[in-house]
Amino acid sequence: MTDESKRKLALVFLGPPGAGKGTQAKLIAERYGIPHVSTGDILRDNVARGTGLGLKAKAIMARGELVPDTLVFDMVALRLRQPDAEQGFILDGFPRTVAQAEWLDAFLERELIDNAHNVKVRPIVVQINVDYNQLLRRLTGRRTCPAGHIYNIYLQPPRVDETCDVDGLKLVLRSDDREEVIRERLAAYERQTKPLVDYYWNKGRLVAVNGGSAVRQVTGQMIQAIEQMSAAEVKSGRR
């Protein structure tokens, strides 16, 4: 990214369960030095710690349904106000409904101002497309390490069976990666999240990439798309 376009980045990764949002967010967050904010990870952490939020979310997540918007808003606001998100962030799994997208627009309008360039920060939304059968294979084969590294027994296996390459921890199957729950999660995406494609397209905020290729190829496409949109906005004076 050129110096001129090195501005605060509010990135949103949009795509169905298994599209690779988390995998890509980890890589791209590192590249831009901004945090990866996954609402799924924050909710799972709350469930594991048995917080009030976790107790409310647990059964809903186990069914593959969306947690109510009202529970998610405070959680996201709290996270985005942390000092490490000052220069921007990648949202993975949020927004997931039109109401959440409207909330995010209002939040950014109110709270994320790029004072150095005297502009408000608007989201760049990257839609990751992957076909249905590939999503099923990715989700049924996914294994995660408790520290967050993501593997796939078919597509990205660890070097040693069931063990994280990075920290040696035992890999686990996410409780919502069972086939009956996966189908409900994919249905919830179609019903509640897919309308965001039109929402962001109509606002000129959306770029789409083919998420069906190898991880590094997808990363390359996403970075190119982000930088093109960012540069176009700088040129037009909107960022």
Distances (CA, A) of 205 to 14, 18, 128, 202: 12, 22, 14, 8
Tokens 């904010």 belong to residue: 37
- Active-site residue 142, yes or no? yes
Residue 144 DSSP class: E
Chain centroid to CA 231: 22
155 forms part of the interface with ligand AP5 (CB under 6 A): yes
Helix count and strand count (H, E) for the chain: 9, 9
- Of 8, 23, 103, 199, the residue at the interface with ligand AP5 (CB under 6 A) is 23
CA distance 19 to 34: 21
Instruction: Tell me how far, at minimum, the Cβ of 121 lies from ligand AP5, in Å.
Output: 20
Kindly tell me which of 67 and 124 has the beta carbon lying closer to ligand AP5.
67
Distances (CA, A) of 69 to 14, 73, 192, 230: 17, 6, 12, 29
Judge contact between 57 and 48, C-beta under 8 A: no
- Of 89, 94, 103, 199, the residue at the interface with ligand AP5 (CB under 6 A) is 94
Choose the stretch contacting ligand AP5; rule: CB under 6 A; options: 56-64, 102-110, 115-123, 226-234: 56-64
Output helix, strand, coil percentages for the chain, rounded to the nearest 5: 50, 15, 35
Which residues, 125 to 154, sit near ligand AP5 by CB under 6 A? Answer: 138, 141-142, 150-152
Distances (CA, A) of 171 to 152, 153, 159: 10, 10, 12
- Active-site residue 174, yes or no? yes
Choose the stretch contacting ligand AP5; rule: CB under 6 A; options: 28-36, 37-45, 47-55, 118-126: 37-45
Site map 105..124 versus ligand AP5, x via CB under 6 A: --------------------
- Active-site residue 185, yes or no? yes
- Active-site residue 96, yes or no? yes
Which residues, 166 to 195, sit near ligand AP5 by CB under 6 A? Answer: 176, 185
Exactly one of 58, 174, 178, 194 is catalytic; name it.
174
- Of 7, 21, 36, 205, the residue at the interface with ligand AP5 (CB under 6 A) is 21
221 forms part of the interface with ligand AP5 (CB under 6 A): no
Kindly tell me which of 151 and 199 has the beta carbon lying closer to ligand AP5.
151
Chain centroid to CA 3: 26
Judge contact between 183 and 139, C-beta under 8 A: no
Q: Which residues are catalytically annotated?
A: 21, 96, 142, 174, 185
Point out which residues bind ligand AP5 (CB under 6 A). Answer: 15, 17-23, 39-40, 43, 60-61, 64-67, 72, 93-94, 96, 100, 138, 141-142, 150-152, 155-156, 176, 185, 214-215, 218
